[in-house]
Chain A
Amino acid sequence: MEFQIIWFVLWSVLWAVYFMLDGFVLGSGMLQNFVAKTDIERRVVINTLGPVWDGNEVWLLTAGGATFAAFPTTYALMFSYLYTALLLLLFALIVRGVAFEFRGKVDDPRWKAVWDRALLVSSFLPALLFGVAFGNIFEGLPMDAAGYHGSLLSLLNPYGLLTGVLFVMLFLVHGALYLSVKTTGPVKARATATASAAWIPLLVAAVAFLGYTWPATHLFDNYLAHPALLIVPLLAVAALLSIRIFLARDALLKAFTASCLTILLVVTTGVVGLFPNLIPSSLDTRFSLTAFNSSSSLYTLKIMTVVALIFVPIVIAYKIWVYRVFRAPVTNQDVLDNKQAY
């Protein structure tokens, strides 16, 4: 029982950290075409992401692996039910990864333009799809004893799409703030302006999401049963508002930190509402996949807990160190100096 709860928490943390970290990579990828005009500016944007994108994406693989190891039934059903959506996600993530690596390898404007477009689409699509997927998980999937009754089209319901829009806006603002911290000159100015401009639609999406969550899902049940939990969504709103405040004071690193917290707290708001469900059934709650009915055996959970307790802190330690090594903004000169740069 305790171990299943521990793994529900770890599962949530892995997803939340993944969205926080890949969120700014996806957001920056969506913005690269717009905040960077010249080739060198576009290279700067990609090189701010270069040292970290791969390590950030591994959080997704770890979240997937942890779902497999700790909640195999959920892993099996979630991945097979959402087959086509995950396929699109995979293709997008594959294209995004090679776009970083390939873009700078041929010195031809048309070649680079192709990869700039590819980066835009392959960054936008995962943001939207993750939002749609989580929106549908919050609502519950149409599953019962006979299996799954949904399709790719049924995922694109209003609440799913709204959550998709929320994720896109969250990542756009997050990416813009990352670039405003990590670049200099005109790119920094454009990124900062984009963050300010995109914050308002983000707020609208967030308010609409919170409002629509009430009729569309059962996420509020846990909050009604334990009102003290409402602190989580309140903090999420506070973090979201503080982005704006810090932006107004030109405290960009603080605004980015607030944006990190916003994403962590939005995900936490969702999973607190879900608990103990990992994927509720929208047809019959007896077929909901929960931390208790879809988990691995106690023995496996204990082994995996030991592994997580040893290695997750080590991973976090060296990741923080590497972020510190690369804390300085990337300049045009940095890109020109390093022949291995993207």
Chain B
Amino acid sequence: MDVVTLCRWQFALTCAFHFIFVPLTLGLSVLVAYMETCYVLTKDEIYLRMTKFWGKLFLINFALGVVTGITMEFQFGMNWAEYSRYVGDIFGAPLAIEAAVAFFMESVFIGLWIFGWNKISRNAHAITIWLVAFATNLSGLWILLANGWMQHPVGYVIRNGRAEMVDFMAMVLNPNGLLKFAHQMVSGYTVAAFFIMGISAWHLLRNSETVFFKASFKIAALFGLASTLLVGVTGDYHAVDVAKSQPAKFAAMESVWETRDGAAMHVLIIPDSANERNSVEMVSIPKLLSIMATHSPNGEVKGLKAFPKNERPPVWPVYISFRLMVIFGLLFGLLALLAFFLSSRNKLQQYPLYLKVMVFAIPLPYLVNQLGWIVAEVGRQPWIVYGMMKTSDGVSKSVTAGQVAVSLTGFVLLYTLLGAIDIYLLMKFARKGPDGDLSSLINPAKREV
């Protein structure tokens, strides 16, 4: 394999691995903060136990998210030096801002939260986890503004042989980045909601700690219902923006070859890239594709043939990932709706089949987050910056295929090992359930603060 292909695989795999842990962090931080707030407000010990139990799982997950994040920052320079040199003037800014504004806050206050139970007042302690949740999401915002710029470059001019920033606010207000952030945030919340509901369902099926897990399920159900709904809304607006700012990606998402006004959407498609057509197009819904792309029944949808062959993304992976993402998204909405009704009427345990489905549903939102990123990143190809710089032009000149083969192997081995340990620990502590005795958790001296 050549160096570009190896670098692509390495970036894709390390990014995907990093992104196993990030979505849960985004959502679970908010939920744990909510639980601790309930504890501070009601003084009901069940909320403290929730904070502790879900907080422990949060931390096991969080650790790998942090350490694999360093890889991402280093790799732009290590593997994509030409890219970094060409766009660093504008692309480096959101990454540096993310570290200074968000990552510091997240890392300092998570330390205070873990070790500060007996050191600061209860109110202050609850505030620290809100700061962590806020910083985690803020961190996501800056990263996705950086990514949004790669998808839809704005606020720059080509000068001195590189892309130089001329309008900081244009980058910050880039609709592609902001919509991606909104969509990602609620997708992360969905992962967290299904994580809590799934583990709670597992315990409810075994009649262990039923009060605790019913209450946890209920919180996650409402959160999950709101999140899945918002995933749909933000996804819809994001798609309209993509159709406008990255028409080739949108065309690949729906495997559209011809440019049409008032285009129909086909439920079943088998793309045939070699012949620039679909070998199967079945169950058509008139005008729907135009509505999806433009929010107008007669809007124009660009087809892949409008782009030179060497500027089209690979159709199959983008199309199938997008299709699966949408189908699963609808399924999550349905499951969350059921969750909401069953848990609010206290009928969860009457439907063991539903609870079993929820246990097996735990990995699905993770998978769908990955699918979404395959749509976003594979759909951006062959560009590293859409319409501006090809991925093959961004790779480091001084790095050899041998070096990357070694590093890629190293990453695969190390990450597989760490991922396996992390999943083992998550399952171990998820099964163990909450700790019973909390008397040692709160220093009596600080209780009334």
How many positions in chain A have a CB within 8 Å of any CB in the partner chain?
Answer: 67
B146 CB → nearest A CB, Å: 10
Q: Assess A65 versus B111: contact at CB under 8 Å? Given A80-B396, A339-B52.
A: no
**Cα of A95 to Cα of B78 in the assembled complex, Å:** 20
In the bound complex, residues from chain B placing their C-beta under 8 Å from that of A201 are none
Contacting pair A340 B117 (CB below 8 A) = yes
Known: A86-B78, A340-B59. A307 touches B100 (CB 8 A): yes
Q: Tell me, in angstroms, the Cα distance from A319 to B216 when the chains sit together.
A: 33
Taking A76-B81, A296-B88, A296-B92 as contacts, is the C-beta distance between A65 and B74 under 8 angstroms?
no
Of B22-30, B61-69, B230-238, B270-278, the one touching chain A: B61-69
Knowing A69-B95, A94-B418 are in contact, say whether A102-B88 is a contact too (CB < 8 A): no
**A58 lies within 8 A of B52 (CB):** no
Question: Is A97 within 8 A of B66, CB to CB?
Answer: yes
Q: Given A91-B410, A297-B89, A54–B101 Cβ distance below 8 Å?
A: no
Contact across chains for A54 and B399 when beta carbons are under 8 A apart: no
Q: Within the complex, which residue of B71, B84, B406 is in contact with A76, where a contact is CB–CB below 8 Å? A: B84
Known contacts: A77-B81, A340-B59. The answer to whether A51 contacts B114 by CB under 8 A is yes
Chain B 67-85 interface residues, beta-carbon cutoff 8 Å to A: 67-71, 73-74, 76-79, 81-82, 84-85
Tell me whether chain A's interface is mostly helix, strand or loop, or mixed. Answer: helix
Which residue in chain A gives the minimum CB-CB distance to B78?
A79
When the two chains form their complex, are residues B63 and A55 in contact, meaning their CB atoms are under 8 A apart? no
In the complex formed, the residue of B with least CB distance to A148 is B398
- Residues of chain B with a CB closer than 8 A to A52's CB: 111
Please tell me if A192 contacts chain B, counting CB pairs below 8 Å.
no
Which stretch in B163-171, B332-340, B356-364 binds the other chain?
Answer: B163-171
Given contacts A65-B99, A80-B398, contact A300 B90 (CB under 8 A): yes
Bound CA span A92–B63, Å: 15
A300 to B425, CA, bound (A): 44
A337 within 8 A of B: yes
- Determine the residue in chain A with the shortest Cβ distance to B113: A340
Contacting chain A: which of B102-110, B190-198, B379-387?
B102-110
The reply on A13 being an interface residue by CB < 8 A is no
Which one of B96, B110, B425 lies within 8 Å of A65 (CB-CB)? B96
Check B43 for interface membership: any CB of A closer than 8 A.
no
Q: Verify A50–B108 contact, CB threshold 8 A.
A: no
Known A-B contacts A50-B115, A51-B115, A83-B407; A76 and B88 likewise in contact (beta carbons under 8 Å): yes
Of the listed stretches A158-166, A172-180, A203-211, A308-316, name the one at the interface; the rest are far from the partner chain.
A308-316
Q: Is B224's beta carbon under 8 Å from chain A? A: no
Closest to A301 in B: B89
Known: A58-B99, A303-B168. A83 touches B399 (CB 8 A): yes
Judge whether A1 is part of the interface by a CB distance below 8 angstroms: no
Residues of chain A within 8 A of B87, CB atoms compared: 72
Which of B76, B114, B166 is A340 in contact with, Cβ under 8 Å? B114
* Contact, CB under 8 Å: A64 / B73: yes
Q: Which residues of A contact B92 (CB under 8 A)?
A: 65, 68-70, 72, 75, 296, 300
Determine if A200 is an interface residue (Cβ-Cβ < 8 Å). no
Question: For the complex, is A341 an interface residue (Cβ under 8 Å from B)?
Answer: yes
Residue pair A338, B59 in contact (C-beta under 8 Å): no
Q: Are A76 and B85 within 8 A (Cβ)? A: yes
Contact of B267 with A by CB under 8 A? no
Whether the Cβ atoms of A66 and B77 lie closer than 8 Å is no
- Of residues 108 through 127 on chain A, the ones whose CB sits less than 8 Å from some CB of chain B are none
Q: Do the beta carbons of A68 and B96 come within 8 Å of each other?
A: yes
> Which residue of chain B is the closest to A337 with respect to CB atoms?
B440
Given A68-B76, A93-B70, A299-B164, A75-B111 contact (CB < 8 Å): no
Q: Tell yes or no: B56 within 8 A of A by CB.
A: yes
Q: For the complex, is A84 an interface residue (Cβ under 8 Å from B)?
A: yes
* Contact A94 to B100, CB < 8 A, known contacts A51-B114, A75-B84: no
- A40 at interface (Cβ–Cβ under 8 A)? no
State whether the Cβ of B112 lies closer than 8 Å to any Cβ in chain A: yes
Within 8 A of A (CB), among B18-62: 52, 55-56, 59-60
Q: Does A81 contact B (CB under 8 A)?
A: yes
A322 at the interface (CB under 8 A from B): yes
For A81, the chain B residues whose CB sits under 8 A away are 398
> Which one of B73, B79, B100, B119 has the greatest number of beta carbons of chain A within 10 Å?
B100
Cβ proximity bits B142-171 to A, threshold 8 Å, 1 near / 0 not: 000000000000000001101011101000
Smallest distance from the beta carbon of B91 to chain A beta carbons, Å? 8
Q: Is the CB of A83 within 8 A of B403?
A: yes
Q: Is A325 engaged at the interface, CB distance under 8 Å to the other chain?
A: yes
Query: How far apart are the CA atoms of A81 and B85 in the complex, in Å?
Result: 13
Residues of A within 8 A of B114 (CB): 50-51, 340-341
Please measure, in the bound complex, the distance between the C-alpha atom of A308 and the C-alpha atom of B93, giving whole angstroms: 11
Known: A55-B104, A326-B115. A339 touches B78 (CB 8 A): no
Residue of A nearest to B443 (CB): A337
Let me know if A338 and B85 touch, CB within 8 A: no
Residue of A nearest to B94 (CB): A69
- Does residue B401 face the partner (Cβ distance < 8 Å to A)? no
Roughly how many angstroms separate A318 CA and B66 CA in the complex, as a whole number?
Answer: 20
Closest to A312 in B: B100
A297 to B156, CA, bound (A): 11
**Pair B115/A68 contact, Cβ less than 8 Å:** no
With contact pairs A76-B85, A79-B77 given, residues A338 and B398 touching in the complex (Cβ less than 8 Å):
no
Distance in angstroms between the alpha carbons of A50 and B63 in the assembled complex: 12
Among A80, A84, A90, A98, contact of B63 (Cβ-Cβ < 8 Å): A98
CB proximity of A73 to chain B, nearest CB, Å? 5
Judge whether A101 is part of the interface by a CB distance below 8 angstroms: yes
Known: A87-B407, A94-B414. A69 touches B67 (CB 8 A): no
CB pair A307–B101 under 8 Å, yes or no, is: yes
Interchain CA distance A100-B119 in the complex, whole Å? 21
Q: Is B100 touching A62 in the complex (CB atoms < 8 A)?
A: yes
**Given A51-B115, A303-B165, A322-B111, A86-B399 contact (CB < 8 Å):** no
Across-interface contacts of B425 in A (CB, < 8 A):
102, 105-106
A86–B404 Cα gap in the complex (Å)? 12
Q: Kindly provide the distance from the CB of A264 to the nearest chain B CB, expressed in whole angstroms.
A: 19
The CA-CA distance from A295 to B158 in the complex, in Å, is 16
What would be 18 A-B contacts, judged by CB atoms less than 8 Å apart? A52-B111, A58-B99, A58-B108, A62-B103, A68-B95, A69-B92, A69-B96, A72-B85, A72-B88, A86-B74, A95-B414, A101-B63, A297-B164, A304-B93, A304-B97, A315-B105, A322-B112, A339-B435
B residues with a Cβ closer than 8 A to A are 52, 55-56, 59-60, 63-64, 66-71, 73-74, 76-79, 81-82, 84-85, 87-93, 95-101, 103-105, 107-112, 114-120, 159-160, 162, 164-166, 168, 396-399, 403, 406-407, 410, 414, 418, 421-422, 425, 428-429, 435, 440-441, 443
